[in-house]
Chain A
Amino acid sequence: MSKQLKLKIITPEKLILEEMMDAVVVPTIEGEITILPEHIPLIGGLRSGDIVGIVKGEHIPMAVVGGFVEVKEDENKITNVIILADFVEFVTDISEEEVNKAKAKAEELRKQAENKEVVDFEHFATELERSLTRVKIADKWRTRKYRK
């Protein structure tokens, strides 16, 4: 069996995923990168977008907002890809209905954001980004094949 890497995705609320993968595609600030096993140690910031885990040719997409990626080798010589993010969601979990809801919410938030004070605005800005990312990623994966 060819080498695999261990993908760990962690948010402050919980451990989202810990699984062996063949490759991972991550949206960093500098652009999208694909990490393969035995990648050199790396640290990078993430922008909102989609993380795609690849196992046996199957794609596992997730929507992500804000965070970091760290690649390093652990004691057992396995490449660890650790993703610390504010928010992660499997595309499978984003249902059609929710996407519509998120769209409506994003629209509403944008309207509200116009007449909000600075402190509150921060809150709205993150909410807005989250909603938009979900919509965008769900749209992107609608017509493609991926592991449910």
Chain B
Amino acid sequence: MASTKEIKRRIKSVKSTKKITKAMELVAASKMRKAVAQTLASRLYAGYSWDLLTSMSGRLEEVKHIFFDGIRAENPRHSGARTLFVLITSNGSLCGGYNAQAIKKAIALMREIKDLESIDIISVGKKGDGAMRRVGRNVVASFTELPAILSLRDITPIASFITSEYKKGIYKEVFVIYTDFISALSQIPKVRQILPISKIELKQAIDEVNTIDQNIPLAITKNQSPYLIEGDTGKLVEMLAEKLVRMQIYQMMLESGASEQSARMVAMKNASEAAGEMIDDLTLVFNKARQAGITQEISEISAGMASVS
């Protein structure tokens, strides 16, 4: 049996580890709350931009824009051959299966596309970046310096990179792989096509985020006089489309952020619990060793006394 001193040292080290994991758990919990609140706050904007799009959609059919579904086929100039993936992962680790799941999803998705050479990747977060480089995919841009609490302006470079590359006609489709935040205990990696904008998918996306808060008027009031449009409709549609893309990316980043923090929270909670159990076990062993030591000393003393008398 190990000496009491050694066991004591181990207990101490496990205790300090437990303190760290506990602290990380609490930090992750508060960050998660913030991220969730942010997601909720952005819903209003999402709801209203959808409203704006539906208000315009009467005109939209007249407007052929490459951002929208079904326009590409008629316009050979824009029929790009490549596919762009945006993979959202975290910078840090210690968050359970969060990154692994998203990366797995990405790899499975890429396998469906036969021609691996036609895939380009934008990675957000160091973990996904490393993984994609390891499997030898073509990473065209990586954003790893994003702050923990996102604001819209942090998303602008990513969104404008995507839209400008898409406008050049390099890509046929753009997908985002992110982790959907369902609850603190369950996060599911998901894929969403953000370009070209399909109206059905966009509606779904906005409905999904609006599941709780139903007071945003998504249904348009009919029989209104037609809208007067200030400025060039084509330009306006393009502006709106760009905003929609950015808003979607922003929301997906927020979802991913919330997922990351809750995954980390759960992982750290488990670690703290495991540390607690380990301390209990070690304490038992320590007490046994101490008891054994005392018993041995007593028997040695009594044996010594017996030999003297």
Q: A: which residues have CB within 8 A of B?
A: 10-15, 28-30, 33, 40-45, 67-70, 72-75, 82, 84, 86-87, 119-120, 122-123, 126-127, 130
- Judging by beta carbons under 8 Å apart, are B224 and A15 in contact? no
B49 surroundings in chain A (CB, below 8 A): 84
Measured CA separation A78–B298 after assembly (Å) = 93
- Which residues of chain B (226-249) have a CB below 8 Å from chain A? 226-231, 235-236, 239-240, 243, 247
Closest 5 CB pairs of A and B: A44-B230, A122-B160, A29-B231, A12-B45, A41-B227
What does DSSP make chain B's interface, helix, strand, loop or mixed? Answer: helix
- Judging by beta carbons under 8 Å apart, are A12 and B48 in contact? no
Measured CA separation A40–B250 after assembly (Å) = 32
Q: Closest chain B residue to A31 by CB distance?
A: B230
Among listed B76-84, B93-101, B151-159, interface-contacting one: B151-159
A44 surroundings in chain B (CB, below 8 A): 229-231, 236
Q: A30-B231, A122-B161 are in contact. Are A12 and B224 (CB under 8 A)?
A: no
- Judging by beta carbons under 8 Å apart, are B236 and A82 in contact? no
CB distance from B56 to the nearest CB of A (A): 6
CB distance from A16 to the nearest CB of B (A): 10
Given contacts A12-B247, A86-B153, 17 further A-B contacts (CB under 8 A): A28-B231, A40-B225, A40-B228, A42-B227, A43-B227, A44-B231, A68-B243, A73-B224, A82-B48, A84-B45, A84-B49, A84-B243, A87-B153, A119-B141, A122-B157, A122-B160, A126-B153
- Judging by beta carbons under 8 Å apart, are B239 and A45 in contact? yes
Measured CA separation A122–B164 after assembly (Å) = 11
Interface flag for B215 (CB, 8 Å): no
CB distance from B140 to the nearest CB of A (A): 10
Measured CA separation A73–B291 after assembly (Å) = 83
List 15 A-B residue pairs with CB atoms under 8 Å apart, sorted by A's residue number: A10-B45, A12-B45, A12-B250, A13-B41, A13-B152, A30-B231, A41-B227, A43-B230, A44-B229, A68-B52, A68-B239, A82-B51, A84-B52, A84-B243, A126-B156
Interface flag for B221 (CB, 8 Å): yes
